[in-house]
């Protein structure tokens, strides 16, 4: 088992591997520390062991914070886990690249997870750790996708689940949560109100709030996106990643995943330039980046990208530091640009993403138009969620041709491409 202890990101105080998340001394966030002295060794052998693992995130068990260690040959660990997340497609997107004047663009389609967003990665890890720690109830403060995933994992593992969401969430996301039998609590307020309430409840109840008291473990799940991208590129790093930013956890942990594998010799070369993507209606990190600030000023969210609507991002300062030290950035796009981003991705790749993916695609288009991307770069666009969950974003953006069932009506009513 490579996991060693928890450590404060600020003052480096050490804590045991329990359900704790904030430093008692300086109130900094806690993070998992590993001891890879037994993991390291022959790179070829390490790669072969990963490649021989299960077709889900547990192939990276050596780099995840579980007491159980790597999975056995019979998939023993897999049976502890319930819903397999990860191993989603990395698609070469030549038509998108051409539209943007770039050479090599890849789409990492994390909508292809059990509950159709990247949240299944973080929830799998948090819930598995919660079971190791003996919790019987799981819970979360969610902007939507986390609710879907916690409810589904609760159902798969027979744990009680309570999900707290802002009451104005998209109907699709509420329905796709309640169906699993979770207790759905719609809070009259925005995500930051939901999070505050859950932090209070967390102090009073013996529940595993996946993104509060289990947050150090939860966050580690996002590293698996980096591992997969590198493995799917043939053990190579991309030159640039464009990633959506809500709390900033996904953004910073993708980079951490690349770094960890570089330290072990599994990857070589420089860390990719990391570009964060936010909606203008909730862009505390992009604003701080533009203003040259080290910390974010909290905002009240107002955007169609509800899954990214966190006005007070916990990992904001770390996201800013990462963007600056990798030569990346953090940009914001308007709701109209988000809708156009969804359409651009759908029409050039066949991937239909939710509003968060519209944000990411629109930021990529903006970077390309601004000339920030060298045409020879290998760029990975991280698509984190499914278009069917935010259908309102595309309503009215195209025409349906309704006709009587006759050839005449078809010829009169439907414009046709003229073939020569």
Ligand X SMILES: *Cc1c(COP(=O)(O)O)cnc(C)c1O
Minimum Å gap between C-beta 402 and ligand X is 33
Q: In which element (H, E) is residue 178 found? A: helix 171-178
Nearer CB in complex with ligand X: 71/221: 221
Nearer CB in complex with ligand X: 88/307: 307
**The two three-digit tokens of residue 9, written as one number:** 């990101």
Q: In which element (H, E) is residue 109 found? A: strand 104-109
- For tokens 């029409």, the residue is 347
Interface pick for ligand X out of 385, 387, 390, 393 (rule CB under 6 A): 385
CB of 173 closer than 8 Å to CB of 147 = yes
Interface pick for ligand X out of 7, 109, 161, 247 (rule CB under 6 A): 247
Applying CB under 6 A, does 363 fall inside the site for ligand X?
no
Interface pick for Zn ion out of 26, 290, 388, 391 (rule CB under 5 A): 26
Interface residues for ligand X in 7-36 (CB under 6 A)? none
Applying CB under 6 A, does 117 fall inside the site for ligand X?
yes
Applying CB under 5 A, does 372 fall inside the site for Zn ion?
no
CB of 345 closer than 8 Å to CB of 353 = yes
Nearer CB in complex with Zn ion: 26/409: 26
Residues 37-66, mask of contacts with ligand X (x by CB under 6 A): ------------------------------
**The two three-digit tokens of residue 12, written as one number:** 């480096």
Which of ligand X, Zn ion, none binds 28 (CB below 5-8 Å, type-dependent)? Zn ion
Q: Order of strands, edge to edge, in the sheet holding 329-333?
A: 90-92, 104-109, 378-383, 240-244, 273-279, 329-333
Interface pick for Zn ion out of 28, 68, 189, 327 (rule CB under 5 A): 28
**Count of residues interacting with Zn ion (CB under 5 A):** 8
Applying CB under 6 A, does 296 fall inside the site for ligand X?
no
Applying CB under 6 A, does 246 fall inside the site for ligand X?
yes
Separation between Cα atoms, residue 37 and residue 62, nearest integer Å: 12
Applying CB under 5 A, does 23 fall inside the site for Zn ion?
yes
Q: How far is CA 365 from CA 161, 193, 232, 361, 379, in A?
A: 39, 33, 24, 6, 12
Which of ligand X, Zn ion, none binds 356 (CB below 5-8 Å, type-dependent)? ligand X
CB of 294 closer than 8 Å to CB of 343 = no
The residues, any chain, with a CB within 8 Å of residue 24's CB and separated by 6 or more, are 13
Applying CB under 5 A, does 8 fall inside the site for Zn ion?
yes
Applying CB under 6 A, does 356 fall inside the site for ligand X?
yes
- For tokens 């997107």, the residue is 93
Interface pick for ligand X out of 307, 326, 349, 361 (rule CB under 6 A): 307
Separation between Cα atoms, residue 284 and residue 303, nearest integer Å: 13
Minimum Å gap between C-beta 11 and ligand X is 24
Nearer CB in complex with ligand X: 50/195: 195
Minimum Å gap between C-beta 27 and ligand X is 19
Applying CB under 6 A, does 116 fall inside the site for ligand X?
no
Residue environment code for 100-125, b if the CB has 16+ CB neighbours within 10 A, otherwise e: bebebbbbbbbbbbbbbbbbbbbbbb
For residue 269, how many other CB atoms are within 10 A of its CB? 11
Applying CB under 6 A, does 381 fall inside the site for ligand X?
no
* 109 CB-side CA count, 13 A: 15
Could you tell me how far CA 3 lies from the centroid of its own chain?
22
What angle do helix axes 145-157 and 171-178 make, rounded to 10 degrees?
10
Nearer CB in complex with ligand X: 50/333: 333
Applying CB under 6 A, does 322 fall inside the site for ligand X?
no
Applying CB under 6 A, does 278 fall inside the site for ligand X?
no
Interface pick for Zn ion out of 4, 5, 10, 132 (rule CB under 5 A): 10
At 88, phi and psi to the nearest 5? Answer: -90, 160
Applying CB under 6 A, does 248 fall inside the site for ligand X?
yes
Minimum Å gap between C-beta 360 and ligand X is 8
Q: How far is CA 34 from CA 6, 66, 83, 214, 272, in A?
A: 9, 11, 25, 17, 23
Applying CB under 6 A, does 250 fall inside the site for ligand X?
yes
Which of ligand X, Zn ion, none binds 147 (CB below 5-8 Å, type-dependent)? none
Given the rule CB under 5 A, which residues bind Zn ion?
8, 10-11, 13, 23, 25-26, 28
Given the rule CB under 6 A, which residues bind ligand X?
117, 119, 145, 244-251, 307-308, 354, 356, 384-385
């Amino acid at each position: 088992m490579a996991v060693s202890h928890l450590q404060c990101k600020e003052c480096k105080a050490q804590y045991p591997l329990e359900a704790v998340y904030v430093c008692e001394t300086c109130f900094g966030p806690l993070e998992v520390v590993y001891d890879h002295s037994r993991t390291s060794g022959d790179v070829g052998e390490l790669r072969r062991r990963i490649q021989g693992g299960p077709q889900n995130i547990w192939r990276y068990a050596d780099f995840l914070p579980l007491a159980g260690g790597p999975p056995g040959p019979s998939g023993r660990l897999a049976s502890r886990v319930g819903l397999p997340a990860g191993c989603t497609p990395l698609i070469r997107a030549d038509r998108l690249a051409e539209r943007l004047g770039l050479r090599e663009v890849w789409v990492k389609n994390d909508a292809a997870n059990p509950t159709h967003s990247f949240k299944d990665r973080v929830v799998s890890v948090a819930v598995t750790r919660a079971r190791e720690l003996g919790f019987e109830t799981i819970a979360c403060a969610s902007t939507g996708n986390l609710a879907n995933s916690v409810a589904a994992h609760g159902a798969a593992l027979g744990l009680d689940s309570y999900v707290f969401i802002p009451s104005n969430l998209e109907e699709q996301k509420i329905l796709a949560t309640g169906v699993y039998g979770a207790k759905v609590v719609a809070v009259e307020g925005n995500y930051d109100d939901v999070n505050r309430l859950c932090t209070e409840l967390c102090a009073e109840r013996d529940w595993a709030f996946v993104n509060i008291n289990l947050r150090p473990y939860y966050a580690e799940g996002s590293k698996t996106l980096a591992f997969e991208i590198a493995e799917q590129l043939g053990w190579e790093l991309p030159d640039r990643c464009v990633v959506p930013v809500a709390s900033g956890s996904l953004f910073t942990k993708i980079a951490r995943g690349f770094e960890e594998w570089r330290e072990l010799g599994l990857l070589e070369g420089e860390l990719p330039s990391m570009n964060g993507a936010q909606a203008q209606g909730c862009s505390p990190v992009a604003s701080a980046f533009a203003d040259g600030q080290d910390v974010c000023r909290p905002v009240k969210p107002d955007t169609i990208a509800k899954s990214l609507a966190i006005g007070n991002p916990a990992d904001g300062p770390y996201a800013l530091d990462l963007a600056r030290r990798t030569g990346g950035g953090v940009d914001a796009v308007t709701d109209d640009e988000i809708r156009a981003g969804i359409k651009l991705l759908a029409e050039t790749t066949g991937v239909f993403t939710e509003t968060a993916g519209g944000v990411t695609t629109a930021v990529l288009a903006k970077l390309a138009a601004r000339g920030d991307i060298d045409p020879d770069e290998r760029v990975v666009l991280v698509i984190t969620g499914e278009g069917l969950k935010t259908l309102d974003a595309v309503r009215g953006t195209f025409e349906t041709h309704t006709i009587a069932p006759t050839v005449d009506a078809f010829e009169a009513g439907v414009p046709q491409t003229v073939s020569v």
